[in-house]
């Protein structure tokens, strides 16, 4: 090795500089091997730079970390899938077990139907309520079987009916002002759409401010807007009220999921409160 000095050129043999370099941890390379690299610090004809650490260890660490994260995500996905399967099994079991008492209830309703003419007026009204509850439970179990089968198209049976007649049957228990644009015979999943609309009307009665109005429009798609004069709370406040047990938000969550399942959507507007059911024809 040689170097330029003020007095000339110093030449050092390998026996002189190699033990010192080894002792202090310095490695030397030929300048021809560094032609394409810049020199951070130059002393005479020597280029001094920090030794490049081996990056293999942190590359291996990053790869290991990525593998661990992917493994955790995969395990989380499996756990979530297992929980969904368990919930689906429980719902299928409940639906299956409900069919027996509902069938028995149907036989009881038929017996009361045969004796209908002999009932007094109060008992006849009670029979109508019993018949309505039985029919609702029966439709619920039958349509839930399709939803729980796992097939996207199952459980979404449509019926042909005059839209205004169906709407009147849903809104009759509530004090609501209705307006319909474009009334006609239309094929819709009336049962599940009725569940959604009934939840919205009940929510308006319990948590809204009267008067309550309903505006429906049919023009290539079905739009049903339920409006009251209240002001909806912010989303975080609604979650807080739900946790306190006041019931806000649970019915709306059901409506949102059902509408998504039947191919529609639920839109929420504030000031004043408006909920819009939208379903393509």
- In terms of DSSP bridges, do strands 221-227 and 265-269 run parallel, antiparallel, or are they unpaired? unpaired
- 183 and 232 housed in the same domain: yes
Question: Domain boundary at 117, 147, 177, which?
Answer: 147
Confidence of residue 215 (pLDDT cuts 50, 70, 90): very high
Rounded alpha-carbon distances, angstroms, from residue 278 to 183, 216, 258, 264: 16, 10, 12, 5
Same structural domain, 66 and 97: yes
With tokens 């955790």, the residue in question is 72
The more confident residue out of 246 and 110 is: 110
More reliable by pLDDT, 41 or 165: 165
d(C-alpha 98, C-alpha 105), whole Å: 11
Same domain membership, residue 163 and residue 272: yes
Do residues 111 and 201 both lie within one domain?
no
Neighbours of 228 (CB within 10 A): 23
Residue 142 lies in a domain: yes
In terms of DSSP bridges, do strands 265-269 and 274-280 run parallel, antiparallel, or are they unpaired?
Answer: antiparallel
**Alpha carbon of 226 to those of 109, 131, 143, 173, 253: distances in Å?**
34, 28, 25, 15, 16
CATH code for position 171: 3.30.565.10
Q: Does one domain contain both 122 and 231? A: no
Confidence tier at 52 by pLDDT (50, 70, 90): low
Domain boundary residue, one of 84, 118, 147: 147
Residues 133 and 166 in one domain: no
Domain assignment present for residue 185? The answer is yes
Percent of the chain with pLDDT over 70: 73
Q: Is 194 a member of any domain?
A: yes
Co-location of 130 and 181 in the same domain: no
Give the pLDDT confidence of 227-256 residue by residue, as tens digits: 988 776 654 455 444 444 444 455 778 888
Model pTM score: 0.54
Q: How many domains does the chain have?
A: 3
Question: Ranked by mean pLDDT, which of 25-29, 111-115, 187-191, 236-240 comes out on top?
Answer: 187-191
Contact assessment for residue 41 and residue 49, using Cβ atoms and an 8 Å cutoff = yes
**Is residue 154 situated within a structural domain?**
no
Are residues 60 and 43 part of one domain?
Answer: no
Handedness of CA 204, 208, 211, 215 (dihedral sign): negative
Residue 95 dihedral angles phi and psi, to the nearest 5° = -60, -40
User: Domain for residue 176, yes or no?
Assistant: yes
> pLDDT band at 49, cuts 50/70/90?
low
Domain of 43 in residue numbering reads as: 2-48
Query: Are 192 and 267 within one domain?
Result: yes
Q: Cβ distance 181 to 217 under 8 Å?
A: yes
Please check whether residue 168 lies inside any domain of the structure. Answer: yes
Q: Verify that 77 and 40 share a domain, yes or no.
A: no
Contact 250, 239 (CB under 8 A): no
User: Do residues 38 and 63 both lie within one domain?
Assistant: no
Asked whether residue 217 is assigned to any structural domain, the reply reads yes
**What is the per-residue pLDDT for 232?**
65
Domain boundary (147, 180, 210) is at: 147
Is there a single domain that holds both residue 143 and residue 196? Answer: no
Residue 152 lies in a domain: no
């Amino acid at each position: 090795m040689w170097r330029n000095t003020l007095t000339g050129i110093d030449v050092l043999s390998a026996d002189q500089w190699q033990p010192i370099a080894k002792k202090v941890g310095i490695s030397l390379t030929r300048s021809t091997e560094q032609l394409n690299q810049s020199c951070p610090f130059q002393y005479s004809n020597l280029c001094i730079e920090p030794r490049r650490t081996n990056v293999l260890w942190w590359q291996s660490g990053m790869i290991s970390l990525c593998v661990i994260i992917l493994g955790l995500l995969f395990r989380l996905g499996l756990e979530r899938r297992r929980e969904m399967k368990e919930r689906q099994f429980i719902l299928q079991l409940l639906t299956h077990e409900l069919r027996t008492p509902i069938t028995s209830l149907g036989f009881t309703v038929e017996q009361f139907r045969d004796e209908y003419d002999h009932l007094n007026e109060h008992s006849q009204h009670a029979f109508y309520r019993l018949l309505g509850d039985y029919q609702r439970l029966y439709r619920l179990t039958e349509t839930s079987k399709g939803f729980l089968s796992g097939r996207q198209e199952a459980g979404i049976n449509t019926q042909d009916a005059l839209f205004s007649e169906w709407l009147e049957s849903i809104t009759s228990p509530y004090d609501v002002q209705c307006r319909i644009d474009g009334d006609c015979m239309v094929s819709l999943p009336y049962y599940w759409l009725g569940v959604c609309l009934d939840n919205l009307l009940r929510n308006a009665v319990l948590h809204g401010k009267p008067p309550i109005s309903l505006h429906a429009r049919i023009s290539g798609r079905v739009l049903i807007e339920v409006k009251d004069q209240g002001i909806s709370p912010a989303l975080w406040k609604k979650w807080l009220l739900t946790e306190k047990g006041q019931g806000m938000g649970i019915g709306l969550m059901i409506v949102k999921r059902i509408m998504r399942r039947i191919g529609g959507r639920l839109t929420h507007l504030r000031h004043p409160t408006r909920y819009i059911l939208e379903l393509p024809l």
